Amino acid sequence: MTLTPTAPAGPAPGASVRAALATGARPPAPGSLSTSLTFAWRALLKIRHVPEQLSDVIAVPIIFTLMFTYLFGGALDGSPRAYLQFLLPGTLVMAVLLATVYTGVNLNTDLGKGVFDRFRALPIWRPAPIAGALIGDALRYLLACALVLALGLLLGFRPHGGALGVLLAVALVVVFALALSWVFTLLGLLLRSPNAIMSVAMVVLFPLTLASNILVEPDTMPGWLHTVVDANPVTHLVTTARAAMAGSATAGQITAVLLASAVIAAVFAPLTVRLYNAK
């Protein structure tokens, strides 16, 4: 007597999985904004797990404000408190602009670890990792601004423009810093190591910040240096920030800062995205 094997009762192996996949609608692809915000959240989580990343944002504003106020205040303006009224908008700008270099450093570090190779394989908007990192950096800039302002108020700084003037100054500084961040993002793609980015950044940032009106008025400088300082966009940013905190900023000053920021971003953002997509 021959026994005929019979198939086991029930669905074929894998049929339930195929059925579940067939019945559900495919989720839509994430949009550019939501993807960028996700990467911004990633940047914040990195700070949460490695809080040492905030050392530059916390230490530099405090050191600069205290050091310049008490080193130069008596010599330049008769007293540290009087000099602080002139200095604080400048140290606000300086502290934030020096922090922009870490945009390129963090990008270069991720590239070296191969993290961005994984991001490129995802079905997302291609520049989202860079855009998200910039959004996360904007929060770092706001933290630096808050520290400078809190310390300044504690030392005796009084903005005559009130809260609106301070908010306007902070907004202009952050907008300009975000535009400048594209420069260091491009360097993060071009250079081979974070140390190389730091070296190049210091060569760029220190002349850009110190050859300005952050510490002293340009009227005290030699004529050739006065011309260089007047052409420096950081000088116009500091002048506008001071005017905003004093309640006397003009539409022309604000427009000049926004225009300079737009020009920097218009030049370096497309170059960065193009190099990122081709790299």
pLDDT digits (tens, 9 = 90+) for 176-233: 999 999 999 999 999 988 889 989 988 989 889 988 999 888 888 888 888 999 999 9
Q: Is the predicted pLDDT of residue 173 greater than 90, yes or no?
A: yes
**Distance from C-alpha of 261 to C-alpha of 100, rounded to nearest angstrom:** 14
Give the per-residue pLDDT at 163.
Answer: 93
With bands split at pLDDT 50, 70 and 90, how would you rate the model's confidence at 124? Answer: confident
Give the per-residue pLDDT at 10.
Answer: 54
Give the per-residue pLDDT at 225.
Answer: 87
Give the per-residue pLDDT at 269.
Answer: 93
Give the per-residue pLDDT at 81.
Answer: 86
Give the per-residue pLDDT at 107.
Answer: 86
Give the per-residue pLDDT at 238.
Answer: 96
Give the per-residue pLDDT at 210.
Answer: 87
Q: Is the predicted pLDDT of residue 154 greater than 60, yes or no?
A: yes
Q: Exposed, middle or buried by CB within 10 Å (0-12, 13-18, 19+), for 12?
A: exposed
Range in 60-69, 147-156, 223-232 with the lowest mean pLDDT: 60-69
Range in 8-12, 47-51, 146-150 with the lowest mean pLDDT: 8-12
Q: Is the predicted pLDDT of residue 242 greater than 90, yes or no?
A: yes
Whole-number mean pLDDT of the chain?
A: 85
Q: Is the predicted pLDDT of residue 273 greater than 80, yes or no?
A: yes
Q: Is the predicted pLDDT of residue 12 greater than 60, yes or no?
A: no
Q: 260: which 2 tokens?
A: 């300079």
Give the per-residue pLDDT at 259.
Answer: 96
**Distance from C-alpha of 114 to C-alpha of 206, rounded to nearest angstrom:** 31
Nearest to 173 by CA among 113, 234, 224, 120: 234
State the average pLDDT over residues 83-95: 92
Q: Where are the alpha helices (DSSP H) in the chain?
A: 15-23, 32-49, 55-77, 80-99, 101-113, 115-120, 128-155, 162-190, 194-210, 223-231, 233-246, 251-278
Q: Is the predicted pLDDT of residue 245 greater than 70, yes or no?
A: yes
With bands split at pLDDT 50, 70 and 90, how would you rate the model's confidence at 11? Answer: low
Higher-confidence residue: 49 or 137? 137
Q: 173: which 2 tokens?
A: 């500084």
State the average pLDDT over residues 113-123: 79
